[in-house]
Structure 1
């Protein structure tokens, strides 16, 4: 058997899987319980090793919690991940397992490429996910849980994501929406350097807007989330303060800008809450940005004179790039990512074939040298005929033995025909 140690990567691809949940496959109430903070990753990785997962990279964001790794048996991957993710939060794995998606082999590679290029995010083109994946891979390597397959896949995924950002305008959509929000905020408050902001939840657009406020205008930002450790992780990523929703009433009083990106499908801020807040603010105006679909903020807030509520549609109308332009850029990005995945898989399959091709070449060269040493005076025609006879002897005998024992199947014959470009109408000359 050929030695494939030179290409362990592709040899393990059939065991490579990505298993997890995201904003489309799992209710928020369950997904938020599964959030894994950075300091919890070593425990998760140790648990994965107990189950025989050789390489692993967990990824936990507001949109998704998933694990990419080399599993002993991909058919059992859902069960393994359900047990590991549910154990710390006392959740029944049987409840989670049906909600988990599982991508194996080339499909797993394609999934990671799409995620890195921000084609699988709630907001196509958001830049946070690439940084989150880079950080997750660095952490996995520092904890010695990565390996040749995961390293090669992530490196190629990051390069594909960079190409998408260089050669398409996919990232301009989220940026233009954030820019529109900042423009309205300046109309309401004037210089943003004197404002304070609160971010509810951790949706991508909310993060982009909060980060721009903090980085470009020095606006102090406080992140509130029902899950304290997620609030802390989100705040850390943008250099903000953090707290829980229990402090919402007090946070609103201090906030000149409220960015809501919870996305749980229920109202977070009511008209009455904002009226009470404005009384405590002595009717200083408040700018509210609702970046969730369905909305987080009751539209009735628009009836309040001192409250300026803008939702995603309002901001998209103000943004220079509309939905149709972003869809076109996303389609171009998908084609680019698909091509990058195909190149990566082709390169890796070529690597596993290379050692066998080299051995075959060396074997045939050895037969030629032996023939020349035995009969150095043969003419070129006789030498070629004799060499061809020797080359054909072993394969011919093997095929005859297979046929004699009823083991010569169509797959073997098809492979033979494909390898040598045989025309079936030529018949069997063996």
Structure 2
């Protein structure tokens, strides 16, 4: 039963990067179906077994954040209907719990990382196919016709995952499949034309030099060659118009425009001052900045400011507690895993800066996987510490039995008698 639920969870994670390729009107069908089936089977298995894993502080903070997101609307904004974003938080909480229950071991967690990388492969390949067939009609390219910025961040998160799996898999085929993802992802991210995506990719690629101290000379040469191939392919296939767009990253940052996001952030911070404790309620960022921007309002395009304005300082602290608890947990990992986890967290943190991603599956799934890795390692360490040591081989010397000890006269041994006669 648990194995079936894990298989469905694997498909759920696998479908996340390319969920917009196969959709019904407004619904990503594969994640919905597999996620729902996995949840139902997991609940049944837990009820039958009667066992639950002890929660981490991350889970407590996540539950409190969700409760606050609902209570905030009910008590401080009475009469407001609970928006879809609130229920999305609840669904993400269930996904996090399923990963916690179904993937307690490092092997299963590595399997879910592989599922994400394989799914990112499909999204990257579909982006390349769209470029080949519609290069003359489109300026930016994204799998399934989705948002190029979102896709770029999703693909960037897969870069450190693929590199880590390529270093740790013992099967050569799987290892090389994961390594080849790097140049493919770099080209696909370049085709999206996402400036934030390129910044996140730069952070993600730090996993390569940070792991070089653990590489043999042969693997070190292979790593340098892989980076060279990625750069060469990006230069060869990314159109000049997109390259010119990517080169404006510095000027956008210096001018504070950041693709028009700067004014949205300033308006959000100004609105926050008026309701700093409770905020404006889940999903109400547009309404919060509407008076400030004279009727022109959008979503925050910044996850941190979005949470701060919608949930107030209380909800913001709970959300940041989730992130910080995972960061503290991964610091206990061995060197290679710790560097991998920190790079993934850094990539995620950068991805959340220009996007409203606080309620995206990728964020919550990545946090759950990294937390799972840290706890799986701790469990292995504790298990090894509790395992009893094998008994030492102590020579057993038979104590000679004497008849005198039994109250009878002792009879000398034959050898003893010979020694006496001698």
Scaled to the shorter chain, the TM-score interval is: under 0.3
Q: Under a length normalisation based on structure 1, what TM-score does the superposition of the two structures give?
A: 0.25
Higher strand share: 1
Compare relative contact order (CA 8 Å, sep 6+) and give the higher one, 1 or 2: 2
* Greater fraction helix: 2
